[in-house]
Amino acid sequence: MTVSRTNATFAPPVMEARRWLEGVVFSDDKPLINVSQAAPVAPPPEPLRRHIADTALNVAEAHLYGPVLGLPELRAEVASQWSAAYGAVIAPDQVAITSGCNQAFSAALAAIASEGDEVITPTPWYFNHKMWLDMQGVTAVPLKTGADLLPDVAQAAPLITPRTRAIVLVTPNNPGGVEYPASLVRGMYDLAKAHGLRLIVDETYRDFDSRDGAPHDLFSDPDWADTLIHLYSFSKAYRLTGHRVGAMVSSTPLLAEAEKFLDTVAICPNQLGQHAALWGMQNLSDWLSEEREEILDRRAAITDNLPKIDKIGWKLRAVGAYFAYFEHPFDLASDELAQRLVRDHAILTLPGTMFMPEEDPDAARTLRIAFANVDRDQIGVLFDRLATVAY
């Protein structure tokens, strides 16, 4: 049998978890609580949907191929808003629009790494990053984090080899939710710069950071574009998951290399989605602020309900943005626990085994709760159910 690139990695975790639902019947008085996937389940706000409809009806170019690196107007808007947010000078030609943030990561890796190269990735890692590295023959070098899920710059340094091409950070973190301090992000940037590496910073959940102001100062370095590859997603901010719109900010030479990859995969990003993202950026700042406040309230609901389960041994390792990351108290692996939670307690979540190397003992002890799609009352019910778990 021929071994393909896809044979090198695992099945998509969210799809794998959904298969655990097959044959399970949930009652009306105990419906499924699905905290497995970090994605909005509601459509975009009605004014944005109306704009999408109007664009579809009246903008003929929205149905044609567009520029590979995205609509010039959207690239310029990202450059302008990012410059204001980070106190920096970012040019439109340093911005690329992609078919979602996952594609931005894939394009970045295609532009900087080859088979046999290495990329340092803190664990627990975002599983789609790991899957792409596997399929490209690039080794994901795990950087184990501490109990607070924060990576350590001093521990990253010894992992660098002649084959290292990048360090990857996701902040606020997926799966952990933890917000990386600006000093940590700067330390990783300085380490990468000193070794001629790229620092990939995925800020998909930036809009739901609990901190005010810029979360780091990397764009203040006049030479930022030689080291930093910044990734972003419009999916979470404007509920555009089905439209697949993301962004990558870096040097123009790197984007020229990424353009080769993007042209052969999708040719151009979704045109309607790009028009939607542009309109959202220009018109929905107040709405997005309200969305952020709601997510922060749900984050607070996690800690408010924590006493229900910490007395029986559950430990909250980190919480933020869309996620809470827990250590469970049971004498069984987290993948088995997650499947039992579906059958016995109508809870669908993802185990730590989907975010770490198999040999890491933390993989068997941890679970990710994606709470963005359950409100404060539902979070209370979730904790009530977790409080009854005993294995």
* Residue among 210, 126, 134, 209 nearest 168 (CA): 126
Q: Are 255 and 90 in contact (CB under 8 A)?
A: no
Q: Residue 378: what residue type?
A: Q
Strands, sheet with 323-327, edge to edge from the N-terminal-most edge strand: 315-320, 323-327, 366-370, 350-351
Extract the residue ranges of the chain whose pLDDT is less than 70: 1-2
pLDDT of res. 173: 97
pLDDT of res. 41: 81
Q: Are 317 and 147 in contact (CB under 8 A)?
A: yes
> What are 322's two structure tokens?
């869309």
Ordered domains of the chain (ranges, CATH): 6-43+287-386 (3.90.1150.10), 64-284 (3.40.640.10)
CA distance 233 to 40: 13
CA distance 55 to 191: 45
pLDDT digits (tens, 9 = 90+) for 101-144: 999 999 999 999 999 999 999 999 999 999 999 999 999 999 99
